[in-house]
Every structure is written in structure tokens, then in C-alpha cells.
Amino acid sequence: MKTNDVILQTTTKVVFFIIFLFSIHIFFAGHYTPGGGFVGGLLTTGAIVLLLLAFDLKTVQKALPFNFTIMTAIGLLLALGTAAGSIFFNVPFFTHAFDDFTLPLFGVTSLHTAMVFDAGVFLVVVGAAITIIQSIGGDS
């Protein structure tokens, strides 16, 4: 018997983007308030898992044609690169830099190198979690 999942699939198409946008909001909130790359990454993973539940593995792989192992590697590289940048300035490892910039649209914004590190964490979390789910879910 074919199950009827029209409602699930239709809501998922909308809810996916809401969760994804919220995860980006959480990611940027992370420096001064609760949030950050790890939680943001987990939320995004949650959104993708919702897609997996509503559709199936093949459809999702077609919709998101990324190699998630490579994504993890890129994330690690970003995180390590940001932390290791301090080596070239001869300050202790992980020392971060920040300054206020006046940007169009945003006004005065303080930009941190820690944000790039967090973006790396975000990619690692999404990449690793989805790789795990894919390889477990891929076994039939």
C-alpha cells in the first residue's frame, strides 16, 4: 500500500527553509549571545534530516549534490586556518582579531575572525552528521 505523505512533503518544503534561515540567524547570533557554529550546524542538519524523513535518500542526494566528506574537510581547513593565522603574526595560537567596520546596509558592524572559525565548525558539524546519517540510512 502506498502511504499518503502529501501533507508531510508540502509542509517540509516550507519548513525546511524556515529552519535553515533560523539556523543562519543562530549562527550569527553566536558571538555575544547564545548560538554559534555548532548549534547552527545541528539545526541545519535537523532540517536536512526532515527532508530525508519526508522524501527518501536518493531525492535528497539529488537536491543537495554535495560530497559531505569534502564539506567536513573544508570546514576543518577553515577552522584550522583561522586559528593558525595567528602563527604568522607570532601571537599565541587561536588569538582572534576584531574591529568595527561601517558596512552599507548594516551600518557599524564589528567583524571577528572568530566568525570564520565558527563557519568552519558549522561545515564540520553538518558534513560529519550528514555523512553518519547517510551511511547508516544507506544500509538497506
Q: What residue ranges bind another protein (CB under 8 A)?
A: 69-70, 72-73, 76-77, 80, 84, 86-87, 90-96
The residue written with cell numbers 534561515 in the block is 21
C-alpha cell at 4: 499518503
Question: Residue 33 in contact with residue 124, Cβ under 8 Å?
Answer: no
Nearer to another protein, 21 or 81 (CB): 81
CB-side neighbour CA atoms (13 Å) of 129: 18
Nearer to another protein, 90 or 140 (CB): 90
Question: Residue 113 in contact with residue 85, Cβ under 8 Å?
Answer: yes
Nearer to another protein, 33 or 90 (CB): 90
Largest CA distance in the chain: 66
